Amino acid sequence: MTTSLTPVLQVSDYSLAYRAPRGKIPVINNIDLTIARGEILGLVGESGSGKSSMASAIMRHLPGNAEENAGSIRLGTTDLRAQNERAMSDIRGRRMSMVFQDPATSLNPTLRLGEQLAEVLIRHQGMTTAQAWREGEARLAQVGLKTPAEMMRRLPHEVSGGEKQRVVIATAFACNPELIIFDEPTTALDVITARQILDLFAELQAQTGVASLYISHDLALLSQTANRVAVLQKGTVVEQEETVRLFRAPNHSYTKALIAAAPDPDKRLVQPLEESGTPLVSVQDLSVKFGRKSWVDSLLRRDFQPVVGNQAITLDLQPGEVLGIVGESGSGKSTLAKAMTGLNRFDGLIEFDGKPVRGLSDMDRGYRRDVQIIFQHPDASLNPRQRISEILGRPVRLYGGSGNPRERIKSMLERVRLPAHYIDRFPHELSGGEKQRIAIARAFLSNPRLVICDEITSALDVSVQASVIDLLMELHRDTGAAYVFITHDINLVRQIAHRIAVMYRGDLVEISDAERITDPDRADYTRALLAAVTPPAFTHSL
């Protein structure tokens, strides 16, 4: 890839703070960044480091309480800070564009995909509606959508997450901009779809020579994508270097810590399993189907085909075992987890400690105490109106136990590495990682024998993820609870699981010992999953 000496983007001595009732909150401190034509600059850092604020500053989408210093932000020779909103509306979409993390929030749910793509071409390229529609179809074909004409007529809810992101990327590239900002564009996607999107990005970037700012907390991904990487810590660039040099010989302690926190499948975190011979859980021919035949279908004698979530799943789980479950979105991983916890109706049989469970009515108080689930997004599973004392007090009230309830809650907070005084806080007063620790504490307050973890680290940055995994492994050793660990991160699951179950479109493809998942005799789909994984880029000793 060739690059020009003239920077497309130049950020010089730029600082940003937000005014708050208690004073200014600095978020970006004296940053200097340049990106040349054809270059990809990776911007990496933990949540709260200022990455997205930097993107907002470049796009001139800052809130009213933002306060900037005298630093400059230039797109070519254009001083972006000197532009009014009308001028910026001409620049956005035409000269620079942005691809966000969640494509669902980038698209208007009430407009057809074609209308949204054509709008950009009409606004910035001066095309007629007919011309923009034809060009839109060509752009969707360029990003690998197989039926572009049909896709133009669909609404966002009628396409998958990966298809939505392809439409967003097509829109970003539609006017051949000078600069594109990618803000975690694959975080919300499964591993195969993410690899397809990354390959697409690399192809389009090479074809167009666009300058790219790629924001991510995934160091392994940036090691495969960026020409240079800038490391952002609490608003300050602590290290900026060519990608290969940065990963081979990082200088700053923060960079070293980020690299050390990235999952490495060669570093096993789980202890060998001592099999008892008698499984804790036995799932036999479990199937989940969604939808019911309506009275209209019955009246008109129309055929009804339910949507299959799981199809005849059979597997065992030993006491104290960590079973990883992987597969792309829609493979049935979470569907199985919800069936095992009574959130999905199912056909078939679950035996728990030898007792048959055929449905919700068989999941008695003891079963609910012994089987706990931790969800992906703690914001959706923690009541925002309740204090932590109320949230964690519920399992104490439901399942009893000895000792003062408030002291038990404080003890559990300390056990999950949170201060005891958090007991009187509300969820919104905690960070994402802290909220997930509250969800973990709630699950373990019932002294469970099986904990189902459903993508619980996918929304966390790499260092917070590492600390949460370290906590889970500690609790696993201390309590002996078995885990079902659902994830897209195959590097991570190879670190922590005894065995790995691979699912595809509701079917269980195979189950393998974690240490043998890369064997050449694995199923074709398993090998496809592994091929899509970004390999660890950190083979040196830190």
pLDDT digits (tens, 9 = 90+) for 272-290: 888 777 999 999 999 999 8
**In whole angstroms, what is the distance from residue 123 CA to residue 119 CA?**
6
Give residue 541's pLDDT: 39
pLDDT tens for 182-234 read 998 887 777 888 888 888 998 999 899 999 999 988 787 888 889 999 999 99
Tokens, residue 470? 């370290």
Give residue 537's pLDDT: 55
Which domains, from first to last, does the chain contain?
108-174 (no CATH), 281-292+306-532 (3.40.50.300)
Q: Is the dihedral of CA 492, 496, 502, 506 positive or negative?
A: negative
What lies within 8 Å, CB to CB, of 3 at 6+ separation is 36, 37, 38, 39, 227
- The number of CA neighbours under 13 Å toward the Cβ of 299 is 3
pLDDT tens for 303-361 read 777 888 999 999 999 999 999 999 988 889 999 999 999 999 999 999 999 999 999 99
Q: Cα-atom radius of gyration of the chain, to the nearest Å?
A: 25
* Spatial CA neighbour of 374 closest among 406, 334, 407: 334
46 or 61: which carries more pLDDT confidence? 61
Report the chain's mean pLDDT, rounded to a whole number.
Answer: 90
Give residue 536's pLDDT: 66
**pLDDT-above-70 percentage for the chain:** 97
On the question of pLDDT at 525 being above 50, the answer is yes
- Whole-model pTM above 0.85? no
Give residue 542's pLDDT: 39
On the question of pLDDT at 143 being above 80, the answer is yes
Give residue 427's pLDDT: 93
On the question of pLDDT at 508 being above 90, the answer is yes
Using a 10 angstrom Cβ sphere, with 0-12 exposed, 13-18 middle and 19 or more buried, the burial of residue 292 is exposed
- The number of CA neighbours under 13 Å toward the Cβ of 406 is 5
